Amino acid sequence: MAETKISSTDVAPKTLAVFVLLLAVGLSLAITLAWLGRVILLLLFAAIVVAVFLTAIVDWIKAKLKLNQGLALALILFTASALALFTLWISGPNIIEQFAKLQTDLPLAAQNLVERVKGQSWGRWLLAQWSGYSQLADSFSYALTRIGGIVVSTATLLAGLIIVAFLGLYLAAEPGVYFSGIRRATPRRYRATLDGCAASAVRSLRWWLLAQTLSMAAVGILVTLGLWALGVPLAGTLGIIAALMTFIPNVGPILSVVPAALLAVAISPGKGLLTVLLFVVVHFLEGNIITPLLQRQIVRLPPALTLTVQLLLAVVAGPLGVALAAPLTAAALGIFKVLLPADAIPTTPVVTGPLPVPRPMAAV
């Protein structure tokens, strides 16, 4: 009997050590696979964002028209396809021509800007203060001529967006099937927490996407009308670029002003200054009036937190990480609301000043 007890006590530490070793190996393998497939994971998250957006519209149509899931999704796809085909038929060739012209005009406008700086006395003096002026000028001119390549690379970006859209469509068609698989792999005692985290994350993403879509539309319309009033060429194309860049907080508005400012400076420096002021006013309205009014239902994403996540994901996954930093932050905040709920409001008043000194009791 004593030998049996000793053998059982010897087996327990060995079993625990094997469990800890297997757990460490499993975690290391999972972290390694996640790092190697970080781009694929971000694309999968992008597809989830698309699915959340589609299911939000599907739920709204189901409530209004009393349709089932399949018919509501089919109605959305039919309407979106009809609008896309109608837009391409009406103005598709014009849009393609404008993007092709933008690819040619941007490098020319950049070279024109360099020549304008050289033609001014202050510009020559400023460039003369730089010891490596000739190398700097050549490198700057070469970098600006690559702007057209950025426009060309949007074709590859559109191909990736189409893949994400189809994957998001599959997820939106049967969201319960995919989530039930994750739920089955979760221990029973954690399933309620999983349901709460998923519901909160989806709710935050839906409100963020709605507010962001309306903000993008407002920025695109305002920029297009403003550039058209200023007489800047390709106003519609530049408005589309500004609207798409609004999806990326902090970084997008800065990038969207570059092509419009270059084309405006090529006409006149005053028009270039007015173009920059136009973008400043539009994004001021978007950041301080439009978006706050639209985001009343959710806590607005803290700019410092969003910028920090953008910097981290820029190191991890490059431009794709920067583009998905904001929705990822919104989903994470929704999860944290469940895992880390706010403290309850105290029912008793809180004493903020110094405590009163107790008076001595009077003698009886």
At 249-270, the pLDDT tens digits run: 878 888 888 888 888 887 777 8
| 277 pLDDT more than 90 | yes
Task: Give the pLDDT score at 221.
Answer: 92
Q: What is the mean pLDDT of residues 60-65?
A: 85
Q: Which residues contact 57 (CB under 8 A, 6 or more apart)?
A: 76
Residue bearing the bigger pLDDT, 146 or 186:
186
Is it the case that residue 114 has pLDDT exceeding 50? yes
Q: Looking at residue 363, what is its pLDDT?
A: 45
Which position has the higher pLDDT, 31 or 101? 31
- What pLDDT, on a 0 to 100 scale, did the predictor assign at position 296? 55
Q: Which residue has the higher pLDDT, 359 or 312?
A: 312
Looking at residue 130, its pLDDT comes to 58
Query: Which pLDDT score is estimated for 225?
Result: 92
Look at residue 344 and tell me whether its pLDDT is greater than 50: no
- The pTM for the full model equals 0.71
Better-scored residue on pLDDT, 161 or 49: 49
Within 13 Å, how many C-alpha atoms sit on residue 118's CB side? Answer: 11
What are 290-343's pLDDT values in tens digits? 766 665 555 567 778 888 888 898 888 888 888 888 899 989 988 988 888 866
Give the whole-number percent of the chain exceeding pLDDT 90: 7
Structure tokens at 170: 């599959």
For residues 56 and 286, the model is more confident at: 56
Q: Return the amino acid letter for 301.
A: L
> What is the end-to-end Cα distance of the chain in Å, rounded?
75
- Summarize pLDDT for 116-134 with one digit per residue, the tens: 666 666 666 666 665 444 5
CB 240 within 8 A of CB 222: no
What string of DSSP letters covers 51-110? Answer: HHHHHHHHHHHHHHH---HHHHHHHHHHHHHHHHHHHHHHHHHHHHHHHHHHHHHHHHHH
pLDDT of residue 29: 86
Higher pLDDT, 361 or 60: 60
